Amino acid sequence: MLAAGLLLPWLLGVAVILAARSTRSPLDAPGEIAWITGTGYLTGAFLLTLWMRALSIANLDFSIGTTGAPLLAFAVALGIYVGRRDGGAVPHATRAALRALVDPPTLAGGARIAWHLLSLWIALRFALLGFDVQYQPLYPWDAWTQWATKARVWYELQRIVPFANTDEWFAAGGAMYFDAAPDLPPTLPLLQVWACIALGRWDDSLMNWPWWQVAVALAVAIFGAVRSLAVPALDALVAALMVASLPLANVHVTLAGYPDLPLAAFYVCAVAALIRWNATRDRADAALMILLALACTQITASGLGWAATLLFGLIVAFAPRRGLGIAAAALVALLFVLAVCAQTDFNVMGHLVHPRFAPASPALGESYFVLGSWNILWYAVLAVIPLAGRSLVSPPLATLTIVAAAGALFVLVLFAFPEIAAWRGDRITLNRATLQFAPVAVFFAVMAFNAFRTRWGRIASDPQTTPSQ
């Protein structure tokens, strides 16, 4: 029952994405099945929590019958619709994708050996992470004091009830529930509640399997995204390995219960959906981007900031010629406003606006380039920027570049002005905030390197072409 319950959001999300796709988009295109599979879990998980919120509003208790059965029926109905509309396209494309995974037709010799070794490495990584999730009890700190508190209460009561801060709790004479962060969105605790409903009992280890699922979905979606954007298969697998092997990301799977890894997965897939839409103008990708961006805002407070960075990419996507300049000017204007606020004292609706400038640059540098939380990710990002050169600000990479720049700026602002995070009620440390952005950095690095290789491939084939061209 637990396995069936965990598979339900995956089935639901894949069915929704397949139903929303245009019939003109070939399912057997490189990376397409992987993209649908990876983003399918994220989509289904978010829709599941929205349904559970609707049940609470309707005063219906959570159960297999009220929660799982309607969603399963909806997913099956969508599957029947897709089958009738597309014929045997989905099974055929899925079989072809699985065959390409086992026996990639575009690789030979050493590249084929590397493919199998990397695939085995990723599979072993997730197997070991799954062992930890199965047997590691819920770990203390935020996962214990801010998130699982809600999951435990909502599971026992079979519905969402509000949490209050300590002042409200005292005023109510203890007749309310409270924890360390009562205003957090309910999305992640509801995933834990659903796991326990499917299991049939409360279990603070097994309820954390959704974090493992998020990690798997993230790696599969990254592979599918970069592969669908004309990146070679082996490079796409390296991208999947990079997000699957980030040490801090693995910690957030084994010590599940924190919001940072799920937020990172939803955010990078929203960015990838934006880049895919910019390349194809497929409305299904636009809808998926909007849904995933909305999900970011419903995971934790900083999700709104990450979703806002997509606006800069949209500016470039809608205005390819002038959009990059407009978006860059908007970023500079935001920095200027922040600098002015840091130097002045004024009130906005009774609140003092004076962010204190206190950069954490030594800790930032040590964390990124000395300690072991990120492997060599940030070295790779710094190396690929000069290699890509002008390609970074040229179509089609310009949209991703401005989003990555806005995301990097968001991280730096959080740690140059620590009070900004405090205003949002988001008590995130340096590495946890960086984890929310790291998969986008991987996506950017792989796409920028591919742009560099494509440009120099043209130079090699046409000696009269200059590097600047």
Q: What residue type is assigned to position 354 of the chain?
A: H
Domain annotation covers residue 110: no
Torsion sign, CA atoms 360, 366, 371, 373: positive
Q: How far is the C-alpha of 302 from the C-alpha of 185, rounded, in Å?
A: 11
Q: Are residues 238 and 307 in the same domain?
A: no
Q: Are residues 32 and 86 in the same domain?
A: yes
Domain annotation covers residue 207: yes
Q: Are residues 240 and 146 in the same domain?
A: yes
Domain annotation covers residue 111: no
Q: Do residues 453 and 375 lie in contact, with contact meaning Cβ atoms separated by under 8 Å?
A: no
Q: How far is the C-alpha of 13 from the C-alpha of 37, rounded, in Å?
A: 8
Tokens of 20: 């929303």
In 3D space, the residue among 293, 291, 313, 314 whose CA is nearest the CA of residue 303 turns out to be 293
Q: Are residues 241 and 306 in the same domain?
A: no
Q: In sequence order, what are the residues at sequence separation of 6 or more whose Cβ sits closer than 8 angstroms to the Cβ of residue 309?
A: 403, 406, 407, 410
Provide the residue range defining the domain that includes 387: 301-461
Query: Would you write out the chain's pLDDT as a tens digit for each of its 469 residues?
Result: 999 999 999 999 999 999 999 888 899 999 999 999 999 999 999 999 999 999 999 999 999 999 999 999 999 999 999 999 998 899 999 999 999 998 898 899 999 999 999 999 999 999 999 999 999 888 878 899 999 999 999 999 999 999 998 888 888 887 889 998 899 999 999 999 999 999 999 999 999 999 999 999 999 999 999 999 999 999 999 999 999 999 999 999 999 999 999 999 999 999 999 999 999 999 999 999 999 999 999 999 889 999 999 999 999 999 988 999 999 999 999 888 888 877 777 665 555 566 777 777 777 788 899 988 899 999 999 999 999 999 999 988 999 999 999 999 998 888 877 766 555 555 567 888 899 999 999 999 999 999 999 887 776 666 555 544 4
Q: How far is the C-alpha of 43 from the C-alpha of 104, rounded, in Å?
A: 28
Would you mind telling me the total number of residues written for the chain in this entry?
469
SS3 content of the chain, % helix, strand, coil (to 5): 75, 0, 25
Domain annotation covers residue 125: no
Distances (CA, A) of 35 to 79, 81, 218, 272, 387: 18, 20, 10, 10, 27
Domain annotation covers residue 124: no
Tokens 């996507």 found at: 317
Confidence at residue 390, expressed as pLDDT on a 0 to 100 scale: 92
Distances (CA, A) of 373 to 46, 245, 251, 258: 28, 10, 9, 16
Q: Are residues 254 and 310 in the same domain?
A: no
Q: Are residues 453 and 359 in the same domain?
A: yes
Q: Are residues 320 and 373 in the same domain?
A: yes
Confidence at residue 78, expressed as pLDDT on a 0 to 100 scale: 97
Hey, is 127 helix, strand or coil?
A: helix
- pLDDT tens for 14-66 read 999 999 998 888 999 999 999 999 999 999 999 999 999 999 999 999 999 99
Domain annotation covers residue 266: no
Count of structural domains, the chain:
2
Q: Are residues 222 and 340 in the same domain?
A: no
Q: Do residues 36 and 239 lie in contact, with contact meaning Cβ atoms separated by under 8 Å?
A: no
Q: Are residues 233 and 312 in the same domain?
A: no
Distances (CA, A) of 134 to 86, 138, 206: 38, 11, 6
Confidence at residue 426, expressed as pLDDT on a 0 to 100 scale: 55
Q: Are residues 42 and 158 in the same domain?
A: yes
Q: Are residues 83 and 213 in the same domain?
A: yes
Domain annotation covers residue 273: no
Angle (nearest 5°) at CA 277 between 214 and 303 = 45
Among 258, 289, 320, residue at a domain's last position: 258
Q: Please state whether beta strands 177-178 and 351-353 pair in parallel, antiparallel, or not at all (unpaired).
A: unpaired
The angle, 0 to 180 degrees and rounded to 10, between the axes of the packed helices 2-20 and 187-199 is 130
Q: Are residues 247 and 333 in the same domain?
A: no
Tokens 């290789």 found at: 453
In 3D space, the residue among 435, 442, 448 whose CA is nearest the CA of residue 306 turns out to be 435
Q: In sequence order, what are the residues at sequence separation of 6 or more whose Cβ sits closer than 8 angstroms to the Cβ of residue 139?
A: 255, 257
Confidence at residue 171, expressed as pLDDT on a 0 to 100 scale: 86
Domain annotation covers residue 73: yes
Among 258, 289, 311, residue at a domain's last position: 258
Among 233, 258, 283, residue at a domain's last position: 258
Q: How far is the C-alpha of 18 from the C-alpha of 283, rounded, in Å?
A: 13
